[in-house]
Each structure stands twice: as structure tokens, then as C-alpha cells.
Structure 1
Amino acid sequence: MSNAGENVKTIRKRRGLTQRELAAASGVSLSTIRKLEQGDRGGARLETLRMLAAALRVPTVRLSAGPHQEDASAATVDRWADVRRAIEEPPQSSAWVDDEPPTVTGVRDTLRTLSPLFAADQFDALSEVLPQLLREADALGAEGRAVRVRLLQLAGWLMVQTRQFSAAETALERALDDAADRMDGAATVNTLCWLLLRQGELGKAYELAVKWADETEPKVSRATPAELSTWGWLLLRVSGAAVRNSQKGEAADALRFAHSAAVALGREYAPGNDFLRTFGPTTVALKRAENASVANRPDVVLRLAESIPSAGLKPTSNNRNRHYLDVADAHAKTGAFADAFAKLQQIQADSPEWLPNQRYARVILERVVKGRRTLTADMRAMADVVGLPL
């Protein structure tokens, strides 16, 4: 039996509930609870644990069996092997014997030209060019500190996207160690919190986000846009960790403060044109819908989505694509399977290299498949894309 299954069984019995009663109270199927408690499942999804925890009235982390392990596909592991080596292995001092050594200007200019590839989730192209650029950034020494931190932030973000958590942690810890100022450090912590959330480390994510949000909190009346953006994102991470850990009050409070920061900004703002740090009223609205999705309120997700101007957003994984997954999930949960599938198709059309890495997409498509009597050819093709066996 898995630790998560043992925890569910122990607390369920303490509450005096049968498996059937827990299923009715939580919305988790009886078969899932049975398999979990019997140790027949490789590991429960965080959403499942959150629903069970809410019914059992305990924090989600009380049920968790520990951090989620990496589950990148074999093809993903192979594709990013050179990038992981460049992140994790010490640089070779002899790498530039026959060539001109890299310069700060050259590395910075190259990174600037690659920025659209990061924003558009062009994974194939990035896996080819990043190893060399990471080695060049390492060779710059102290004078290349700022550009190296930025590159490591982006590399760490990519590793989280592709569920290669060990390499992500290495890249982000290196960036944090090398950060020149509080804003750089906070930008790195923002992604570190996301890494912890993806691993199921809700308590650690919450504590880290709270610590940095407290340390970076500005006087709103005198804050610069960059300060408001940085603080606002950390508050969103606080809220995201809290809602996943069934801490509804803390989640709502953090989201309210983030909304205040967004109102003070009055618009979507990206410090230094950094798409990862874009923050404003729309970003907060997207996260409000995400929180509703985590709390299993598909009706609220769909209602909020109607007022979010998502069509005007670029199709990046940091905002619109993630939101569309929440909308697709809400449609699937309410039986609107055609609408759910249409959203998945829209994401695939906009970001074909991003969607296959999303376990969430597999869960949504599985709901669609179970709700349909027959599958179309497009649905079967989508199953291959997201790795759902039929």
C-alpha cells in the first residue's frame, strides 16, 4: 500500500467513514478510493488528494505520500539530455581553446533573440541551442552574472514544464545563489514555488512564497510597477499553494492582496518584457479561475471565464493555455464534452509542443472519452498527442 493510501485509510477510519461514505462526501469514485487504499495505484493525483482531504477535513499534505517524482517521457528525457548536462555538470575550462571566448554582449544578444522561442514553447529548437548557450554563460565569470541568472531562470522553467524536476531545482538554485538583487531572487523563487507545487510539496511552496512575499512587500502607493509585479506573483503562489492544501481562507486573503497590487498597476505589466513575470488584473483573474478549478467548482470557472479577455492574450503556457485547460476541464466535468475537446484542439493548434507535456490534458481527455459513446478520429489522434492509452 502506498503511503498516501495508508494515510487516507487511517484518517477515514478515525472519522468513522466507510469508503462509500468518503466517496459520496468527496466526489472521488469509490473504485479510486479502493484502489488507492489497496496500493493498486501508482500514485494519486494532487486533485484527488485535495478532494479527499477536504472531505476528511485535513490539509492535503496530511494525505500526500511525499513529493511527486519526475515523470517525463523517455523521449523528453532523451531530447533534453544535453541541456541537463549543461545545467548540472561543471563547465570545462578548456572549452574555448580553439575559439574566441564568449562575451557578455554576445550571450545577452543571443538570449534576446531566443526569447520568442521561450514564450512560444518551442521546445525542439530550444533543446538544440540551449546547451551551448548555457556553457557560454558559465564561461563569462562574474561579469556575466546577470545574463547567466536570467538564462538559468528560463532553463529551470523549461525543466519544470517538461517535468524534469531535479534539473529544474539545480538550475533555479544556481540562479538564486547568483542573483544580484532582491527582484532577481524573487523572480527565481516564483518559479521555485511552481516547481514545489508540481511536486506536491504544498507546505514548502506556501512557506517559501509567504517568506518572499513578506520580504518584498512594497508600499503600494509608492511602489514601482516592477515591485508590484514581483510582489503580486508571490502572492499568487501563496494562494495557489493554500488552495491546493485546503486552506481556503489563506488562499482568498492572498488572492485579495494580489488583486490590490493588480489594481494599483492598472494593466498587464511585464518587467523588462519578461513574459514569466507578466502581472496585472487579467493575470489575477486567470488565477482566480484556476483556484476555482482546484476547488472543484467548474461552474465558477466557466462563469469567471466569460469575463476574462483571454482571446486577446498571447497563447503562452504562463497564462492563456493553462487557463484554457481549466476551461476544458470545467466543460468536461459539466458534461459539455464537445466544448472540452474543442478547447484542447485550440491549445494544440496554438502550442503543439507544450500540450504533450501536460498530464492535466490527459486527465481532461480521459473524462471526455469516458463521457462519449464513440470516439472521433480527432479524439483518437489527441489521445496519441497527450499520451492517453485507449
Structure 2
Amino acid sequence: MTQEELAERSGVSADVIRRLEQGRRSGAQLRTLGALARALDVRTSDLLSPDTELDHFDNGDTASLLDIRRILFPAFGADGIPDGAPSTAEGLAAQIDRVQVEHSRGLYQANLSDLTDLIPAVERHVRENPSPEAATLAARAYKILAEVLIQMRHDDLAQDVVKRSMAYAENASDPVLYALCAENAAWIMILHARFADAVATSLHLARLIEPPISSTDRQRLDAYGRMCVRASAAASRNADAGATAEAESLARAAAHRLGGGMVYQMRFGPAKLAIAESENAIVMGDPETALRIGQAVQLRGTPGKRHLLTMAEAQIATRDYAGALATLNGARTLAPEWLKHQRLGRRMVRDLLDVVPIRAARENGLADLAVDMGLRP
């Protein structure tokens, strides 16, 4: 069937059909897909591939979340977990490690695709092999899914995933993993402006896993430092300088015991603490301190990329617009997909568009950056 024939049969314009086939039109309305499905004698769901972009006001998200939603909220009479071949613990652990690497690079669409298969496989493994080890795998997988959903602005959906990850971590009898999973609840609270609740939650988790003074348990120290940093982030957003400083002090003690330099690493240490202190400073209205502390951190690759947004925000606050643009372009080069999902990044691009003349924006690349992030220059 040609595009013209499909247009005539469905009542959808040939131009819209052409754009949909070429992937040049985001925001397809469900009624449009329904008309095409009737014309093709298929179900509307058959046209919903993972990369189908649905209209934001019509459906609110992309079709890539449909399978995840089926798992989290299955049809009545179903459990949401499709049948599949058994998996080994070793194989699942390797898959989770690979997805974690993708996540650190900001490859969220790849994450969703992989997790759509991984979550059911892990659930089947837990059923067939109920054990703390299997529960650990499930907690880790759901933890990554929660963080992907939060980054993609589906934090309400992520709340259920956080609860699942916490339940599995509890079944695994792993208090450190439980705290790391529960930390995402504090993150969501911050996004929902529940700052005092986020402080209380983070400090409660920190107390649950607080290591003894003589402890050399690096995993526990790492998690403890992260909880304290999360508490400081919430306190700074609540304009509570005292609570911010207190939480930073607790995190500083953990960073000192772990050691390490100012080259950013995934594990907690001085570099992660400096990044947190820099972000707290800009939140508290002190961009000069944010720059002074933050510029000492050395990033290597995509981990720590969020720090670039803090630096750009401080540069805008000190009217270093060229520096801010260079920093944002650096973030785009480093993790383009990740940057598109950052609310702060989009806000800063809009701020730059407000102060940079349109001609200059076209010449210095700001206009291109805006278009890439879905903004009109």
C-alpha cells in the first residue's frame, strides 16, 4: 500500500504519514495511530514500537515505557512477567553490570530497552531460586530502573520501583544495598520540593549504616558518605545553612577515611564531596565559592557529568556566558542523550538565550544547542 493509498483509506494526510515513516515527526497522537491501524487492519498497539514518540499532551510519554508499565501495573489476572528461558545468577549479574555502565553514560533509551528484558528475567530467577543472592540481583536491577525513570522525569512512576528495590534489598538482608536503593526516595522527595523530608530520610538511612570509627568497610563508608551528601543537597535547597554544613561535615569525615584525590571516581571520596559542596554553594546563592571548589575536580569520561551543569550555572551567575556555553557544549559532547533530559540544562540554555542576541547565538553555537535540546532559539 502506498502512502497516498494509506492516506485516503485512513483519513490521515500523506504528509503526516511520510513524516511518521521517516521518524521526523514526534508527538504522534493516539487517534492518528488508531486511524492508521484501522486502515491497515492491525491493532494500534502493533504500531507502538519502543521508539514511537507519542504526543506529550495526548499520552504523556513515549511508547518505550509501555512494557515497563505492564510489568509495574499488569492487567488484572496477569502478573506482568512474561514467560522466558531460565537465567543463571552469573549471567544476570553480568547483564546488570553492563546496564549500569550504560546508565553511567546517560544512555537511557538503551537502558529502558535492556531493562524491559532484564527485569522479567530477574523476577523469574527469584521465583525459581528464592535466595538472598537472587534478591540482591533484583534489588540492583530495580535500583537502576528507578534512576533511569527519575532522570527521564517519570519520578511518580519511579516511586513504585524504588519500593520494589527496597523490598528486595531487605529480603537480601543487605542494609547497605537497602540504603542505596532507598536513597532514590530522598532524590524523588527533593524533586517534589519535600526538602525537610529528604533530609530526614537521608540522615535516617545514614544512621542505619553508620560505620564504627575503626571500620575499614569501604562499601559501608561509601554508602554512608552518599547518604550524608544527599542530606546536604536537600538541606541546601531548604535554605538551611546549618543542616547543610552539618551533613557536609559528616560526609567529609567519610571521604577522609576513604582517601583519594580530586580525580572523579564512581566511589565516594574527596572529589564527590567537592562536587556536592560546589552544588550546595550555588543553590545557597554563592556562585564564586561553587566555582572555587568545583574547578578543583577533574572529570574523566561521563561519570560526574552532572558537575558540568553546576559549573555552567555558576558561570551564568557570574555573567561568564561564553564560559557557560562552552561548559554546556562540553556536556553535550560528553553525554548528548543525558543532557536532553536535564531540567537544569534546559533552563540554563533558556537563560542564555535571554541574554545573548539571536545573531550571536547563531554564530557561537547557542542556537544549535537550543535546537538539540528541543528549545526554540
Q: Offset at 1:194? A: 1.2
Q: Offset at 1:93? A: 8.1
Match for 1:78 among 59, 63, 75?
63
Give the conservation status (yes or no) of the 8 Å contact 1:145–1:178.
yes
SS of residue in 2 equivalent to 1:95:
coil
Show the 5 A alignment for 1:82-121.
Answer: 82-89=67-74, 92=79, 95-96=82-83, 100-121=85-106
For the pair 1:297 / 2:281, whether they are aligned, the reply is no
Greater Rg by CA:
2
In structure 2, the partner of 1:343 is 327
Residues 130-185 of structure 1, C-alpha deviation per residue, up to 9 Å, x if partnerless? 11111111112223211111000010011111110122111110111111211111
For the pair 1:212 / 2:205, whether they are aligned, the reply is yes
Amino acid across the alignment from 2:146: G
SS of residue in 1 equivalent to 2:201:
helix
Show the 5 A alignment for 1:192-271.
Answer: 192-267=185-260
Give the alignment's TM-score, normalised by structure 1. 0.73
For the pair 1:125 / 2:114, whether they are aligned, the reply is no
Q: Offset at 1:198? A: 1.5
Give the conservation status (yes or no) of the 8 Å contact 1:292–1:301.
yes
Q: Offset at 1:371? A: 1.6
The alignment-based identity, stated in percent, is: 23
Please, which moves more after superposition, 352-361 or 118-127? 118-127
In structure 2, the partner of 1:165 is 155
Distance 1:136 1:268, change over 3 A: farther
Q: Offset at 1:92? A: 4.2
For the pair 1:145 / 2:135, whether they are aligned, the reply is yes
For the pair 1:282 / 2:271, whether they are aligned, the reply is yes
Match for 1:381 among 365, 368, 373?
368
Amino acid across the alignment from 2:213: V
Give the conservation status (yes or no) of the 8 Å contact 1:111–1:151.
yes
Give the conservation status (yes or no) of the 8 Å contact 1:121–1:354.
yes
| Aligned-residue RMSD, C-alpha | 2.4
Please, which moves more after superposition, 206-215 or 347-356? 206-215
Q: For structure 1, list consecutive stretches of 5 or more residues without a partner in the other structure.
A: 1-70
Q: For structure 2, list consecutive stretches of 5 or more residues without a partner in the other structure.
A: 1-55
For the pair 1:315 / 2:308, whether they are aligned, the reply is no
Residues 301-348 of structure 1, C-alpha deviation per residue, up to 9 Å, x if partnerless? 1111232223xx3323xx2x2111011111112211111111110000
Give the conservation status (yes or no) of the 8 Å contact 2:71–2:81.
no
- Once residues 145 and 258 of structure 1 are traced to their aligned partners in structure 2, the CA distance between those partners, rounded to angstroms, is 29
Give the conservation status (yes or no) of the 8 Å contact 2:112–2:145.
no
Amino acid across the alignment from 2:95: T
Amino acid across the alignment from 2:166: L
Give the conservation status (yes or no) of the 8 Å contact 2:203–2:227.
yes
Q: Offset at 1:94? A: 8.0
- Once residues 73 and 348 of structure 1 are traced to their aligned partners in structure 2, the CA distance between those partners, rounded to angstroms, is 29
In structure 2, the partner of 1:365 is 349
SS of residue in 1 equivalent to 2:336:
coil
Alignment: residue pair count: 307
Distance 1:169 1:93, change over 3 A: closer
Amino acid across the alignment from 1:153: K
Amino acid across the alignment from 2:230: R
SS of residue in 2 equivalent to 1:376:
helix
- Once residues 293 and 334 of structure 2 are traced to their aligned partners in structure 1, the CA distance between those partners, rounded to angstroms, is 22
- Once residues 127 and 83 of structure 1 are traced to their aligned partners in structure 2, the CA distance between those partners, rounded to angstroms, is 8
Give the conservation status (yes or no) of the 8 Å contact 1:333–1:367.
no
**Bigger relative contact order, structure 1 or 2 (CA pairs below 8 A, ≥6 apart):** 1
SS of residue in 2 equivalent to 1:137:
helix
Give the conservation status (yes or no) of the 8 Å contact 1:358–1:386.
no
Q: Offset at 1:283? A: 0.2
- Once residues 345 and 354 of structure 1 are traced to their aligned partners in structure 2, the CA distance between those partners, rounded to angstroms, is 13
In structure 2, the partner of 1:19 is none
Residues 48-72 of structure 1, C-alpha deviation per residue, up to 9 Å, x if partnerless? xxxxxxxxxxxxxxxxxxxxxxx99
For the pair 1:175 / 2:165, whether they are aligned, the reply is yes
- Once residues 94 and 110 of structure 2 are traced to their aligned partners in structure 1, the CA distance between those partners, rounded to angstroms, is 17
- Once residues 72 and 126 of structure 1 are traced to their aligned partners in structure 2, the CA distance between those partners, rounded to angstroms, is 25
Distance 1:221 1:289, change over 3 A: same
- Once residues 334 and 77 of structure 1 are traced to their aligned partners in structure 2, the CA distance between those partners, rounded to angstroms, is 38
SS of residue in 1 equivalent to 2:85:
coil
